[in-house]
């Protein structure tokens, strides 16, 4: 983003709406690690939370984005299908990625804060992501100096 603040973009499962959630750098790193399957040498906070749930015999059933207050998304971690623990949306998403839990968003929040992306825009975003997956810094090096580039050093 132009502000250099990371964003999570949740996509509606059966629709064309997206929910943008601005997050902190640490949460962005935690989410990225989980998405890419990176295992850090020591557990990150969300890895610790996953491991604690497991060792204690509990399961994160789902993460619900339940409120939007003063431009801040609030979530609930649903443990064993019934116990709810309040959490930041970004922490819930990072934990859900590590446990395979679903991330659900209240319909009223989607109605209030979601954006609609047309199929053409969605295709363009996907093409750009694919481009980024295959591009390297060497692809942007300048041309080799040649006769048409003018005098070089020592001329």
How far apart CA 110 and CA 8 sit, in angstroms, is: 14
Would 122 be classed as within a structural domain?
A: yes
pLDDT of residue 124: 66
pLDDT of residue 61: 97
Quote the number of domains for the chain.
1
Range of the domain at 81: 7-126
- CATH of residue 85's domain is 3.10.690.10
Read off φ and ψ for residue 71, nearest 5 degrees.
65, 20
pTM for the whole thing? Answer: 0.73
Would 60 be classed as within a structural domain?
A: yes
Would 97 be classed as within a structural domain?
A: yes
Would 48 be classed as within a structural domain?
A: yes
Would 32 be classed as within a structural domain?
A: yes
DSSP state for residue 145 in the 8-state scheme: P
pLDDT in tens, the chain (155 residues): 456 788 899 999 888 889 999 999 989 999 999 999 998 889 899 999 999 999 999 999 999 999 999 999 999 999 999 999 999 999 999 999 999 999 999 999 999 999 987 666 666 667 766 766 665 555 555 445 444 444 444 54
Would 115 be classed as within a structural domain?
A: yes
DSSP string, 82-107: TEEEEEEHHHHHHHHHHHT-EEEE-H
Beta bridge partners of 50: none
């Amino acid at each position: 983003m132009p502000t250099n603040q990371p964003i999570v973009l949740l996509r509606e499962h059966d629709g064309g709406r997206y929910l943008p959630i601005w997050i902190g750098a640490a949460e962005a790193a935690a989410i990225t690690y989980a998405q890419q399957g990176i295992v850090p040498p020591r557990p990150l906070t969300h890895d610790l939370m996953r491991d604690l749930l497991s060792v204690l015999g509990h399961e994160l059933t789902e993460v619900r984005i339940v409120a939007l207050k003063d431009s801040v998304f609030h979530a609930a971690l649903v443990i064993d299908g019934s116990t709810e623990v309040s959490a930041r949306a970004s922490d819930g998403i990072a934990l859900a990625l590590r446990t395979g839990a679903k991330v659900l968003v209240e319909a009223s929040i989607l109605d209030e804060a979601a954006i609609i992306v047309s199929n053409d825009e969605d295709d363009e975003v996907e093409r750009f992501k694919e481009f980024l997956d295959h591009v390297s810094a060497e692809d942007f090096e300048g041309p080799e100096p040649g006769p048409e580039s003018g005098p070089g050093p020592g001329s």
